[in-house]
Amino acid sequence: MQSGAAILSYIGHGSFETVGATTFFTSADASSLTNGAPVPFMVNVNCLAGGFNDINPIGSLGEDMTNNPNGGAIGALAPAGLSIFFVGDVVTDQFFGSLFGPTRERVLGAATLAFRTALWNQGSAIDLQSYTYLGDPATRIATPAPAPPTGLAATAGNGQVTLSWLASPESVAGYRVYRATRPSGPYAPITCDSATTTSCVDATVVNATTYYYYAVSVDAEGFQGRWSNFNSDCDNGPDCVHALPVNPNPPSTPTGLAVLDPGIGGSLSVSWSKSPERDIRQYTIYYGTQPGLYPVKSTIPASQTSTLLTGLSDGVRYFMVLTATNTSGLESARTAEVSGTSHLIQGIAPPRAITDLTVGVSGSDLVLNWTQPTVDIYGRPTTVVSYHIYASPLMNFVPSAATQIGFNPGGSNTRFVHVGAAIQPGSLFYLVTAVDVNGFVSGAGRDLPNGIQTMTVALISRSPQTVRLAWPAITTDIQGYATLIDHYQIHRASTPVSRASLSASTLLRDSITSLTVDLDLTGTTGPSFFSVIAVDDRGNLSPF
**pLDDT tens, position by position, 385-409:** 999 999 999 999 999 999 999 999 9
pLDDT score at 170: 93
Dump pLDDT digits (tens) for 339-370: 988 888 888 999 999 999 999 999 999 999 99
pLDDT of residue 54: 53
| Average pLDDT for the chain | 92
Dihedral sign of CA atoms 337, 342, 348, 351 in order: negative
Mean pLDDT within 502-525: 94
pLDDT of residue 450: 92
pLDDT for position 56: 61
Helix 88-100 vs helix 113-121: crossing angle, to nearest 10: 140
The residue-averaged pLDDT of 318-333 equals 96
| Equal fold, 7-134 vs 358-436 | no
Architecture of domain 258-341 in CATH? Sandwich (2.60)
Q: Is the pLDDT of residue 518 over 80?
A: yes
CA pair distance 291, 318, nearest whole angstrom: 8
Q: What's the confidence (pLDDT) of residue 380?
A: 84
381 vs 268, higher pLDDT = 268
| Contact yes or no for 108/141 (Cβ under 8 A) | yes
pLDDT digits (tens, 9 = 90+) for 271-282: 999 999 989 999
pLDDT exceeds cutoff 90 at 15: no
Give residue-wise pLDDT tens across range 60-70. 888 999 999 99
- Residue ranges in 329-483 assigned as alpha helix (H): none
Rounded Cα distance, 357 and 366, in Å: 12
pLDDT at 128: 85
Residues 541, 442: Cα–Cα separation, whole Å: 10
Residue 299's Cβ-side half-sphere holds a number of Cα atoms within 13 Å equal to 7
Average pLDDT over residues 133-158: 93
Q: Is the pLDDT of residue 172 over 90?
A: yes
Split at pLDDT 50, 70, 90, the class of 530 is very high
Residue 12 has pLDDT above 90, yes or no: no
pLDDT of residue 525: 85
Instruction: Tell me which CATH homologous superfamily contains domain 358-436.
Output: Immunoglobulins (2.60.40.10)
pLDDT band at residue 124 under the 50/70/90 scheme: confident
Fold exhibited by the domain 7-134 = Rossmann fold (3.40.50)
Contact between 65 and 30 under an 8 Å Cβ cutoff? The reply is yes
Q: Give the start-to-end residue ranges of the domains of the chain.
A: 7-134, 150-243, 258-341, 358-436, 456-536
Higher pLDDT pick, 14 / 177? 177
Q: Is the pLDDT of residue 73 over 70?
A: yes
* Residue 242, CB-side half-sphere exposure with 13 Å CA sphere: 24
Residue 83 has pLDDT above 80, yes or no: no
d(CA 179, CA 212): 6
Class in CATH terms, 150-243: mainly beta
CATH number of 456-536: 2.60.40
Neighbour-count burial for 463-498, b at 16+ CB within 10 Å, e otherwise:
eeeebebebeebeebbbeeebebeebbbbbbeeebe
- Residue 142 in this model has a pLDDT that exceeds 90: no
Q: Which of 24-28, 204-208, 502-506, 529-533 has the lowest mean pLDDT?
A: 24-28
Q: What is the pTM (predicted TM-score) of this model?
A: 0.58
What lies within 8 Å, CB to CB, of 149 at 6+ separation is 165, 166, 167, 168, 175, 198, 215, 216, 217, 228
Q: Which DSSP helix (H) or strand (E) runs through 161? A: strand 161-166
218-252, pLDDT tens digit by residue? 999 999 999 999 999 998 888 999 999 999 999 99
